[in-house]
Structure 1
Amino acid sequence: MLPATSTTDQSSHQMATETNIVETSIQHKLRGLPKSKGKDYRLYQVPEHLREVNRECYEPSVVSIGPIYYYKRNSLKYSQELKLRHLECFLELGVWKKGYAAYSLGNFIDFLKGWEEEARLFYEDNISLSSDEFVEMMMVDAAFIIYFMMLRSPDFPHREDPMDKMMAWALKVLQDVFLADNQLPFFLLNELYLMAFGSDYPQISFRDITCNFIGESSIPGWVAARTVGKVRVRDAEDIKDLVDFLRVLCYPSVKLGHDQNPKDNEERFCDENKLCCLPLKRQGRNLKDEKKSQFPPTATALKATGVKFLATDGKNLLDIKYRDGVLQIPTLTIEDTTETILRSLMFSEQCHYYEDSYFTHYVFFLDALINTSEDVQVLIKHGIIEHWLGSDDEVATMINRITRNVAITNCEVYYSQVSRDLHAHVTTRWNKWRAILKTDYFNHPWSTLSVVYLVVLLVLTVLQVYTGFTQ
């Protein structure tokens, strides 16, 4: 029989061996991790839990831009011809402007090779493309975007359009250009444009071209692109990609941290187990009610309690205000591409701008305002929504679906003060009674006539009784 000390030594040795095996396994996996790029990634790949809500809004339909979808989908391979035709026209435009002094394709390739390392750092994942493949991708895709936008800008003479006979594709190409992870670095587009056409059009920057391109469309922000947005993007120091460009274009006139109402600058209450944080509860206020009041009641509930709706121009799309019983909301045009554009903007904020997620808060505000087609009809009647979809039900479904699997990470929702004021209006005793009367008794002309008839009958009965007594 072995001594007790010997048994203990064997157990300790066995435990140490097992620990070494586990440690070796973990160390091997740690060494296999991709090397950190030492900076915040500029473009993240959309995760599966967001894609599964509506894949069409996250994957290119016609053209792939950048390395993430490069030759990964068979349905996109034929679009390479479309991009190459734009590249051909891009080069011909240079010859038309400069003649024999025009840059050759080789000159552009040598130029882009100098940007390869920085461009690779733009992407979250280590790109599997070889150096030659990556530079070719940059050349073809960047020339495609630049020429595609120049064709749709009034500042340039009319030139050959490779999509002249392919208008059925145009809307989908517009959508693909603003997909969240179907992007090139904005600096790359800007630098290639400056090299190719900067000396020919010194008064027209690539930011001007992008504004003109958006302004000629009907995507969210098109009014800002024609007006106040031009100044915003011109003064912006760092624009990551075209999605980020669109977000900067639509900045609200008052940013988070500079609240419209001093009441918003309260101390904050943050539950470390929750993503959504709320202001510190003041005396007599319920935290659960506070959370609910971060978002407004529905449009039909607001209408029933006497709130008036006013559509304002869309140059500041995110500027929603409530004053003196009037809810002011800029007009939003909804078409087939709108959901994709909004999802891209929200995903960009989830990755980079969680402290000032203006578009995310805007979409959540709309989602709270709209539950059914009746809510949509209220907003359409007042010019706040214009849509080209098949029905009002489709609009409601789209708005309700768009926030699924999206988290709000900011302590104070941008529109929380507007929402609190709306809830205060709705919960006023007179307004509650007004809503009940309107919903239950005056929701139809016949109902109204019935109530009037009963009131008249009651008055006549009282008069008859009173007359009987006096006689």
Structure 2
Amino acid sequence: MSTESNSRGNHSAENGSSVHHVVQIDASFLSEVEGKMEELPRLLNRSAGRDSCCIFRVPQSLSEINERAYQPHIVSIGPFHHGEPQFQMIQEHKWRFLSDLLLRAESKRVVLKDFFEAVAPMEEPIRKSYSETLEFDGQDLIRMMVLDGCFIIELFCKVGRIVPADLDDPLFTMAWVLPFLMRDLLRLENQIPYFVLQKLFDLSVGSGNDDPSLAKLALGFFNYMVQRPLHVLVKYYEKKGVHLLDLFLMSYIPDCEEEVRRPSRFLHLIQCAKKLNQAGVRFKPRKTHSILDIKFKNGVLEIPVLTMDDFWSSLFLNFVAFEQCYRHSTKYVTTYATLMGCLINTPADAGFLRDHKIIENYFGTDKEVARFFNNVGKDVVFDIHRSYLSKVFEEVNEYYQNDWHVRWAGFRHKYFDTPWSFMSAVAATVLLLLTMIQAFYAVFAYQNPPKNH
């Protein structure tokens, strides 16, 4: 700094003002800053906030809870986990499945070049479907989409018996492989756009009236894990999601819609299952084909049976992550998870719902089920005033806070909760009746003495 600058700085200090230091900006620094400004974001693409973006990296706040639930285990689909060494085994089978598909496509006069030419114009929409800037060049990206997409279609066709399957195919003879493939194809980070799958499907299988739809094959494939009746799935055969996870989520959305409810003193989170039961709320398994279809009426909370296992726990977490990231997604699963998290606050609550045939626990202990639901709702955005269960929350709280229900429930638990207390109550009632009858006859005899003849 020059002498002139120092003298000015000292003069300013003497007058009680702050000292200003002169920072020299050179041309190289400005060039570096301008370069940073011109760079596109890599980890969060600008398209992540647009309608087109539907495939996301799971936010760290969610992945920290259960990282393994979001990352594929044996197969990589799409760019996020492409090339990782642990997926090399299935990567080799992708080329075999592509070869099988091409052999059949020859009857339609469709060759490999046709697949690439059909997908190549979609490069820009494909890139906009992902939340991160993809570092792959155009040819590598299109090659990935064709290989992964054809593998999925051929897998659906073989499992759905649309085409003959090799009885010695190791992907089908080893019992552990297919369930892992099904889980991996329903992970948020492991998706490719549905419009790519549809284009490849139309070229290879067909889209005529007599041909099965892509949605029909996809839902039939995943039905090996959840086993819903075909009449439930048929109304989704013509649906198109933004990817497979979205399509599968759509098949569980109940008929009731998300609604906006006005604030009230009863519209807030509910108590745990044990406390609600002590206040008179009864629990009953609901017969329905969607786990989201929960009803409350006349003090009875009807909840569909939930099978807790590795498949469902992974699916739950990926559903919630998708709903949190995708701007056009509904929040049905987030709402359901929030309600179940309220009900299952402790292992005792999980055991209570298990005893009432609402939870089938193949997941582990009651403690693990409680820990899962305590974690699944952490760090998620949930608006209770705009949810499909807002009426249930409100009515359960209103019932819970009714003093008459609490007193009656206390009486019922005290005298009718166990066979011994019930027998004691019956004995006391009989004794009371006998005492009243005895008193009646004593008074009657006193007021009507026998006449002496």
**Among candidates 42, 46, 63, match of residue 36 of structure 1:** 46
Q: Tell me the residue number matched to 2:62.
A: 50
Corresponding residue for residue 178 of structure 1:
186
Structure 2 residue identity aligned to 1:234: E
Query: Residue type of the partner of 2:388?
Result: Y
SS in 1 for 2:303: strand
Whole-Å separation in 2 of the counterparts to 1:242 and 1:413: 24
Distance 1:451 1:445 in 2: 10
Q: Which residue of 2 aligns with 1:195?
A: 203
CA drift at 1:5: 9.4
Cα distance in 2 for residues equivalent to 1:126 and 1:4: 49
Distance, in Å, in 2 between the alignment partners of 1:23 and 1:250 is 54
Distance 1:226 1:369, change over 3 A: farther
Identical pairs, percent: 26
Q: Cα offset for 1:89?
A: 2.7
Instruction: Indicate the structure (1 or 2) with the bigger Cα radius of gyration.
Output: 2
TM normalised by structure 1 equals 0.78
The equivalent position to 2:86 in structure 1, one of 75, 80, 89, is 75
3-state SS of paired residue (2:289): helix
Mapped to 2, the partners of 1:181 and 1:211 lie a distance apart of: 20
The residue type equivalent to 1:43 in the other structure is: I
Deviations 1:388-413 (A, max 9, x none): 33444433332222222323256433
Residue in structure 1 matched with residue 256 of structure 2 by the alignment: 254
Q: Is structure 2 residue 238 aligned with structure 1 residue 226?
A: no
Aligned-partner SS, 1:328: strand
Whole-Å separation in 2 of the counterparts to 1:410 and 1:21? 53
Q: Which runs of 5+ in 2 are unaligned?
A: 447-453
Which residue identity does 2:151 align to in structure 1?
A: F
Q: Secondary structure at the match of 1:306?
A: coil
Given that 1:233 and 1:249 are in contact with CA atoms closer than 8 Å, whether structure 2 keeps it comes out as: no
Q: 1:19 to 1:306 in 2, by over 3 A?
A: farther
Q: Is the 8 A contact 2:270 2:396 kept in 1?
A: yes
Q: 1:105 to 1:24 in 2, by over 3 A?
A: closer
CA RMSD of aligned residues (A): 3.9
User: Contact conserved, 2:268 with 2:384, CA < 8 A, in 1?
Assistant: no
Question: Does 2:117 correspond to 1:110?
Answer: yes
In 2, the alpha carbon distance for the partners of 1:369 and 1:403 equals 12
- C-alpha change, 1:211 and 1:69, in structure 2 (3 Å) is same
Residue 175 of structure 1 aligns with an amino acid whose one-letter code is R
Q: How does 1:78-93 map to 2 (within 5 A)?
A: 78-93=89-104
How far does residue 55 in structure 1 lie from its aligned partner after superposition?
A: 1.2
Partners of 2:422 and 2:378 lie apart in 1 by 40
Preserved contact between residue 295 and residue 415 of structure 1 (Cα < 8 Å): no
Question: What is aligned with 1:418?
Answer: 392
Q: Deviations over 1:212-259 (max 9, x none)?
A: 2233321xxx53x833554356255xx2111111222222212123xx
* In structure 1, C-alpha distance between the alignment counterparts of 2:109 and 2:328, rounded to whole Å: 45
CA deviation after TM superposition for structure 1 residue 65, in Å:
0.6
- d(CA) in 2 for partners of 1:362, 1:81: 39
Distance 2:221 2:283 in 1: 31
Give per-residue Cα distances to partners, 1:88-127, cap 9 Å, x unaligned: 33223435xx1xx542333323332232232122111111
- Counterpart contact for 2:384–2:390, Cα < 8 Å: no
Q: Equivalent residue of 1:365, what SS?
A: helix
Query: 2:279–2:400: 8 Å Cα contact kept in structure 1?
Result: yes
How many positions carry a matched residue from both structures?
431
How far, CA to CA, are the matches of 1:159 and 1:149 in structure 2?
11
Partner Cα distance (1:295, 1:129) in 2: 46
Q: Do 1:367 and 1:400's aligned partners in 2 also have CA atoms closer than 8 Å? A: yes
Aligned partner of residue 310 in structure 2, secondary structure: coil
Change (3 A) 1:9 1:295: closer
Instruction: Determine helix, strand or coil for the equivalent of 1:329.
Output: strand
* Cα offsets for 1:117-142 (capped at 9, x unmatched): 32122111111123332222112211
2:144 counterpart of 1:143: no
